[in-house]
Every structure is written in structure tokens, then in C-alpha cells.
Amino acid sequence: MLILPTTKTRNGKARAQQMLRDVTAQRVHCTLVVFGEGDRGREIASRADRCAENDPFRHVIYVPDVRVLAGDAAFAVLVANHKAGEEAVALTIRFEVSSTLKGSAAIDFFELEQAFSRARAGQRKP
């Protein structure tokens, strides 16, 4: 799991955006991006990471401070989904939104598995 720095850390925003750009440039992982400070966000990220264990083509990115993504057009879709109340966004290897999760679905192992599977298959959210 990749945990992005926050805006409170030195050069946090620039470092976070570069780290995310590096992941997207690889184009070999389906990725689950998890938003949220505190216990809830960490729990979702931890459960998603369990689903990603032993699969080299799954990647989890935990974003405790979404403000680090602001101002970069490449990450606008992530910011928009967070503003819409989504707690996790599954992305295809082309960095396209495959599915989103919130509420009880975001901590359900079956739903997390489905999100990874749809993203890996390249299914995009309508």
C-alpha cells in the first residue's frame, strides 16, 4: 500500500502528486484509491490491501488528505468522486474510473474484490 503524504508535511502536495503520477505511469496495476483521514479511511485501505496481497497487478493508494490532489487536472476525477461522497475509487490500468465505493460496501471484502476485478478487466463506470 502506498500512503500519500499530507499537506501538513514538507512539500507534501508536490510529493504526493509525483508519487501518484509514478503509479499511473506504470500502467500495469489496477488501483484502488482510498480517501479519508482517521480510522474509517485506514480501515478501508487496510481491507483493500488484504485483497491486493499476493497479486502484483493490484495496488492500493491511501489518500488521507485529498487536498494534495487539488490543482492537477490529471487527478480531478478523483477529487470529484471524493466530493460526491465516495470513499474509494477503483481505477483501470489506463487510470479510468471503473467503480466507486462508499458506506458499508467500502469495507465489505466481497465488494472490494469485485471493484478490483472490474478494474482489472478494464470495465469503466458508465
Residues 27-83: pLDDT tens digits? 888 999 999 989 999 999 999 999 999 999 999 999 999 999 999 999 999 999 999
Identify the DSSP state of 9.
Answer: S
Q: Which domains does the chain have, with CATH numbers?
A: 2-120 (3.40.30.10)
Return the CA Rg of the chain.
Answer: 13
Work out the average pLDDT over 73-95: 95
Average pLDDT, the chain: 95
Note every long-range contact of 99-105, with CB atoms under 8 Å and residues 24 or more positions apart, other chains counting: 99/123, 99/125, 100/125, 101/44
Work out the average pLDDT over 79-101: 96
pLDDT at 26: 85
Residue 98's alpha-carbon distances to 68, 88, 91, 93, in angstroms, are 22, 11, 5, 10
Cα–Cα distance for residue pair 55/15, rounded to 1 Å:
26
The reported pTM is 0.94
- Top pLDDT among 29 and 110 is at 110
